[in-house]
Amino acid sequence: MKVVIAPNSYKESLEAAEAARAIAEGVLQVSPGATVDLCPMADGGDGTVAAMVAATGGRLVSADVFGPVGEPIRAHFGLLGATLGTPLPGELGLAAAEGRAAGEGAEGEGGTTAVIEMAAASGLALVPQERRDPMRTTTFGTGQLILAALDAGAREIIVGIGGSATVDGGCGCAQALGVAFITKGGKPAVCGLAGGGIGQIEGIDISGRDERIAEARIRVACDVTNPLTGPNGAAAVYGPQKGATPEMVVQLEANLAHLAAVIRRELGIDVEHMSGAGAAGGLGAGLVAFAGATLESGTKLIAQAVGLRKRLEGADLCFTGEGKLDRSSSFGKAVVAVAKLAAQAGVRTVCLPGQADADAPRDLFAAVRPLVEGTVTPKQAMRQARELLKLRAAEAMQGILDR
C-alpha cells in the first residue's frame, strides 16, 4: 500500500514536516509494510520554506540582510531539491524521510527553484511591540533575499508573503533589486523606503534593476484577495495589526493611492485594484510592478512546486491535516487543496485536524479524526500534538484496513 502524507503545519504545535513524520509513524505502526511518501504542505505563510525544503529534499541557505527597522539580521531561504516524490517503504523509508526532510545530502540537488518567506526578513515577529510602526518599516531585506536566491543559482523564485510588518507597497524591496525612486525636486529617495516615505515618490527608474530579475520567474504565493487601497486594502485592514494608529492608516492609505497613480503613469501597470495586491502591505503590488511577478494561490502553487499531483499517482491513501478544519477551510486552505487533488487521482483522503467544527467540509474526506476528541481538550492537544497525531493516524489507518 502506498500512502502519501501531506499535512500543513499545526500552528503553535508542529511544523508540517514534524506532523508528516508523526502521521507516518502511526501509519507504519498499523501497516509496517506500507510505502509512505512524506510531502509536507504549506499555504504561503509561516512554515512555507521549511515545508517545501522537507518535501523536496532541498536545503536551507542563510543570508545577511536588513530587517524591517533597518537592523542587520541573518535570514534563511530554501533551495528546492531536484527529485520529488520518491516512495519510502516501511520503517527504513521513514528514517530516510527524516534525513531528507532535514536536508541531508541535499548539496547539489536542484538549485533552480528558491522559496522565500518575506517574514524572514520583513516580518512583524522581528519587530518588538513598542517599535511597530508601518510608517517606518521596510521590505528592503526581502529584496536582498531575492538577490541572494539569484546569487545561489535560482531562476524561479517563490515568495510567500504572510506575516509582514510593512505597508511600503514593496518599494523597499524594489530598491534592493536596483529600482530607483525619485522624489520632488528630482532627488533620489532615501534607501530603505518605508510606508511613510512612499507618498513623496514622483518618478520610477528601473534601468538599474538587477538584470537577472527580467530573466527569472517570480511567483507570489498569496491567498488573500485584498486590493492595494480602499476599505479592504492594505492600510485599512492590516495597518492596525502592524502598529498603525487611525491617523497613520489615513496617511498610509493616501500614500498607497499616490504610489499606485505613479506606477500607472510611469510603468503603465494598474495594480491598485488587483486581487491580492494589498497582501503584505502592498508587497504583492510591488512585486508585480517592479519585478514582473505573478500573484498565485499559495496552496495551488506549493502543491505544484512539490509535485503533489505526481506523487498521488498510484497511491492508495492520502493523509492530511492542520490546526483547525472549519467552514473557512474551503477557501484556499491546504487540506482542501490536497483532498481535491487526491480525488482527481482517485485517492481517498483522511484528515487529522487539531479541531473540527460542525460546519467543516467533511464530505471531502474518507475520514476526519480530530486530535480534540473524547476527553482530549484543546490545550492538551497543543501540548501533546505529536503523540496524538500518531495515535489518530494509527486509529484511522486501522479503520481503513478494517473496512
What is the sign of the dihedral through the CA atoms of 145, 149, 151 and 152? positive
Judge whether 328 and 316 are in contact, CB under 8 Å: no
Give the range of the structural domain holding residue 127, as residue numbers without chain letter. 48-79+108-298
CATH number at residue 371: 3.40.50.10350
pLDDT given at position 172 = 98
| Domain of residue 138, CATH code | 3.90.1510.10
pLDDT at 82: 63
Q: Both 282 and 329 in a single domain? A: no
Is residue 100 assigned to a domain?
no
Q: Which candidate, 320, 376, 367, 333, places its Cα nearest to that of 55?
A: 320
**In angstroms, what is the C-alpha Rg of the chain?**
22
Ordered DSSP codes for 247-264:
HHHHHHHHHHHHHHHHHH
Interior/surface letters 214-228, b for 16+ CB within 10 angstroms, e for the rest: eebebbbbbbbebbb
Q: What is the mean pLDDT of each run of 10 residues along the chain (403 residues)?
A: 95 92 97 96 88 92 97 97 50 41 35 91 95 97 98 96 95 98 94 97 98 97 91 96 97 98 98 95 98 93 92 97 88 88 97 94 95 95 96 96 88
CA-CA distance, 399 to 160, in Å (whole number)? 37
Q: What single DSSP character describes residue 330?
A: G
Global pTM reads 0.84
Question: What local confidence, expressed as pLDDT, does residue 110 receive?
Answer: 41
317-320 sheet: strands from edge to edge: 88-89, 35-38, 2-5, 317-320, 348-351, 367-368
Do 161 and 277 fall into the same domain? yes
102, 57 contact by CB (below 8 A): no
Asked if residue 392 and residue 355 are part of one domain, the reply reads yes
Give the chain's length. Answer: 403
